[in-house]
Amino acid sequence: MAAGGPRLPDTVLFEIFLYLDHADVLSVGLVCQQWRAVSRDEFLWKELFYRYYRVSRDVPRHPAAVSWYDEFQRLYDTIPCVEVQALKEHNDQVLHLSFSHSGCLFASCSKDCTVKIWSNELDISLQHSSNMRPYNWSYTQFSQFNSDDSLLLVSGVFVGPHNSSSGEIAVISMENFTLLSRVRNKPYDVFGCWLNETNLISGNLHRIGRITSCSVLWLNNAFQGIESENVNVVKRLFKIQNLNASTIRTVMVADCSRYDSPDLLLDYEEQLAASSTFPVFDLGSDSEEEEAKPKQSPEPAIQELPDAGGVPAEDGLQQFFDDIMEGRMRPAMTETELETKVAELFVRSRTKPPEPNLLPTDSNSKTKYLIFTTGCLTYSPHQIGIKRILPHQMTTAGPVLGEERRSDEFFDSLDHVIDIHGHIIGMGLSPDHRYLYVNSRAWPRDCIISDPMQPPPIAEEIDLHVFDLKTMKEVKRALRAHRAYTPNEECFFIFLDVSRDFVASGAEDRHGYIWDRHYNICLAKLQHDNVVNSVAFSPVEQELLLTASDDTTIKVWRSPRAVRVRQARRPRPRKLLFSWLMNQKS
């Protein structure tokens, strides 16, 4: 609107702005003299914010926001949604991305069986590429830098004798990119993770029956090849029984030390008053009445069976066998049901009890949580297991097979289990490790699993759940927008990542997605030509996001603000300046 022209009523002008997109709202606001006069009107910008972003009015403003105008501009100007570079050095599907803690480097894994190290400068460039085929790997699938960025853990699929596939973890030095050690990892989708600067966690799987197995989690020293023979380089952490064809997968470690000073509190009531608690929503519940009720703590994955008349576990197992032999079992049990029942009875008397007081009470606690996917009904991962790692367990020193235990403590129990009621396809921690984000594809409501080898069908819509690891409760309604289409037996991991204010995820619908953590709204869709497998925020600059896809590319996304700043910093070409000077002289 030109200066001196007819003046529209503020309410009419406001309604016009409601129908403009992000760019129009802000760019028109820069040239519209009348809008400048009301641009700091908090009431107008609050109305615009709630109506434009379709945010519920009971959601308060972000606790760090100064004004509604600044908050509106933040959600437009700081979202990494502008593609600035496409990296095409991989020649097959790109499966995973991970940043170093300094943000100076990132690694990518691919079906081309390489792990590539990239330098994050003004323009991202390839610094090193390691081919893992000489070590009989099929492909690389996951990577993670240790806490001081001196070592890189790389997880891949290893081809063994008779073309059997398992997993393997390699440790690469960032000083000279040499391979320091290799550790077997089974099954391969355990992935592996760092516990501290020099020790990493791997898995092994032992079959006990057709659908019963035992997962062993090992603590490994990264320098196995160069340590003295007199120093332990491996120690058993935990041994956990698996029922109904389930296994432990996707391990990660959460540090409890920052739970009392998180970057962002997701509980709106807790933001206003630390003593109040936000209602917890029951997983899979569609009833508002049910959602209003406090959620009961899930039962441990290894559940206590009803104790009939106080009969000891050993006697219960013997009684069960006697009932079978004498024909007292009615109705007749299938082979699968029989195996599961025997395993449950056996584990009752062979399991070390869970640690008391799982929730950390000391803000300076050195306790860490081992978090992984597991299950109890079928082979598809549908539960999250949590096991506390105590300070004395964080080193390979001590007995090779772990801490001393009684002869009847054959298995370790889980300290906490979260039931998702669906197939888990991704997990990620917030930077402060306070919140756990979980991608899952829901099962039909009230479904019954009668055969562990035939899990229920899964939804195409992906639910992104949020759990508070301090309270072990779900704190937000599931985020939605992204989709997946593969059935249970072909379902694969969709990696997600969390920054201070945003959460991002890949999807099978050829897009990456970004949500705001506080407002629970989807802010951007990032286009690819195929499935988006992984996303990664820079840990020091959340306005930089990477996405990796089956289309073999890694795309680099920056916020509109970051693009403007970087363009302003670019030096002008000397040739143009020289030509201008010569023209001035002539």
Strand order in the sheet with 114-119: 94-99, 105-110, 114-119, 125-131
User: Helix 560-569 to helix 68-77 angle, to the nearest 10 degrees?
Assistant: 70
Higher pLDDT, 198 or 259: 198
Q: By CB neighbour count within 10 A (0-12 exposed, 13-18 middle, 19+ buried), where does 4 fall?
A: exposed
Angle subtended at Cα 114 by Cα 538 and Cα 525, rounded to the nearest 5 degrees: 40
Contacts of 233 (CB under 8 A, 6+ apart): 220, 221, 223, 224, 227, 396
Q: Give residue 304's pLDDT band: very low, low, confident or very high (50, 70, 90).
A: very low
* φ, ψ dihedrals at 542, nearest 5°: -70, -5
CATH topology (fold) of 82-260+365-567: Methylamine Dehydrogenase; Chain H (2.130.10)
The DSSP 8-state label assigned to residue 370 in this structure reads: E
Contact 101, 55 (CB under 8 A): no
CB–CB of 277/245 below 8 Å?
Answer: no
pLDDT for the residue numbered 279: 35
With CA atoms as reference, report the closest residue to 234 among 472, 402, 437.
402
Specify the residue for token string 């006069």.
37
Count of CB atoms situated within 10 Å of the CB of 20: 15
Report percent pLDDT > 70 for the chain.
Answer: 70
Q: Are 557 and 83 in contact (CB under 8 A)?
A: yes
Question: What is the per-residue pLDDT for 41?
Answer: 75
- Judged against a pLDDT cut of 80, whether residue 451 lies above it is answered with yes
> Contact at 8 Å (CB) between 534 and 516?
no
Q: What is the mean pLDDT of residues 383-405?
A: 77
Lowest mean pLDDT among 7-21, 46-60, 239-253, 552-566: 7-21
What three-state secondary structure class fits 344? helix
What residues contact residue 103 under an 8 Å CB cut-off, 6+ apart? 120, 538, 539, 540, 541
Give the model's pLDDT for residue 367.
84
Q: Are 453 and 245 in contact (CB under 8 A)?
A: yes
Neighbours of 15 (CB within 10 A): 12
Reduce the DSSP state of residue 192 to 3 states and report it.
Answer: coil
pLDDT attached to residue 142: 98
User: pLDDT tens for residues 36-76?
Assistant: 555 567 888 888 888 888 998 889 999 989 998 889 889 98
What are the Cα distances from residue 507, in Å, to 142, 165, 439, 537?
17, 26, 10, 16
Q: Is the pLDDT of residue 399 over 70?
A: no
Asked if the model's pLDDT at residue 30 lies above 50, the reply is no
- Residue 22 three-state SS: helix
Residue type, 194: W
CA proximity to 136, closest of 112, 111, 160, 171: 160
Cis peptide before 9 (omega within 30 of 0): no
Which of 88-97, 351-360, 577-586 bottoms out in mean pLDDT, i.e. has the lowest?
Answer: 577-586
Strands 351-352 and 411-412: parallel
> What stretches of 326-464 show up as alpha helix (H) in DSSP?
335-348
Which tokens go with 107?
A: 């690694």
Distance CA(571)–CA(377), nearest Å, equals 61
Mean pLDDT over 560-568 rounds to 89
Query: At 349, is the pLDDT very low, low, confident or very high (cuts 50, 70, 90)?
Result: low
Please report the pLDDT score of residue 295 as a whole number: 37
- What's the start-to-end Cα distance of the chain, in Å? 43
Q: For the segment 160-175, what is each residue's pLDDT rounded down to a tens digit? A: 776 667 899 999 999 9
Q: What is the mean pLDDT of residues 405-426?
A: 84
Q: Poorest-confidence range of 310-314, 456-460, 512-516, 556-560?
A: 310-314
Contacts of 528 (CB under 8 A, 6+ apart): 510, 511, 512, 547, 549, 551, 553, 555
Q: In whole angstroms, give the CA distance from residue 288 to residue 99.
A: 40
Q: What is the pLDDT of residues 229-257, one digit of tens each?
A: 555 688 999 999 999 999 999 999 999 88
Is residue 6 scored above 50 in pLDDT? no
pLDDT at residue 4 greater than cutoff 50: no
Q: What single letter denotes the amino acid at residue 409?
A: E
Q: If you average pLDDT over each of 49-53, 70-74, 282-286, 551-555, which comes out highest?
A: 551-555
Q: Is the Cα torsion angle 421, 427, 432, 433 positive or negative in sign?
A: positive
Looking at residue 509, its pLDDT comes to: 95
**Average pLDDT over every residue of 297-303:** 35
**Is the confidence at residue 302, as pLDDT, over 60?**
no
DSSP-derived secondary structure letter, 560: H
Please say whether the beta carbons of 547 and 512 come within 8 A. yes
Does the pTM exceed 0.85? no
DSSP, collapsed to helix, strand or coil, labels residue 439 as strand
Nearest Cα residue to 117 out of 104, 127, 131: 127
d(CA 156, CA 144): 12
- Residue 68: strand, helix, or coil: helix
Domain boundaries, the chain: 10-78, 82-260+365-567
How remote is the C-alpha of 369 from its chain's centroid? 14
Question: How far apart, in whole angstroms, are the C-alpha atoms of residue 358 and residue 323?
Answer: 39
Strands 137-145 and 125-131: unpaired
Phi, psi of 349 (to 5 degrees): -105, 5
CA distance 247 to 166: 14
Which of the four pLDDT bands, split at 50, 70 and 90, describes residue 476?
Answer: confident
Type of residue at 388: R
Cα(93)–Cα(528) distance, integer angstroms: 12
More confident position, 380 or 328: 380
Alpha-carbon separation of residue 543 from 546, 559, 570 (angstroms):
10, 5, 18
Rounded Cα distance, 129 and 107, in Å: 9
Residue 456: alpha-carbon gap to chain centroid: 23
* Segment 391-401 mean pLDDT: 74
Q: What is the pLDDT of residues 528-547, one digit of tens each?
A: 999 999 999 999 999 999 99
Cα–Cα distance for residue pair 137/499, rounded to 1 Å:
32
Q: Which residues pair with 110 in a beta bridge?
A: 94
Confidence of residue 299 (pLDDT cuts 50, 70, 90): very low
The reply to whether omega before 353 is within 30° of 0 (cis) is no
CA–CA separation, 370 vs 251, rounded Å? 7
Please tell me the CATH code under which domain 10-78 is placed. Answer: 1.20.1280
What is the DSSP-derived secondary structure letter of residue 388? E
| Look-up of token digits 């516990």 | 195
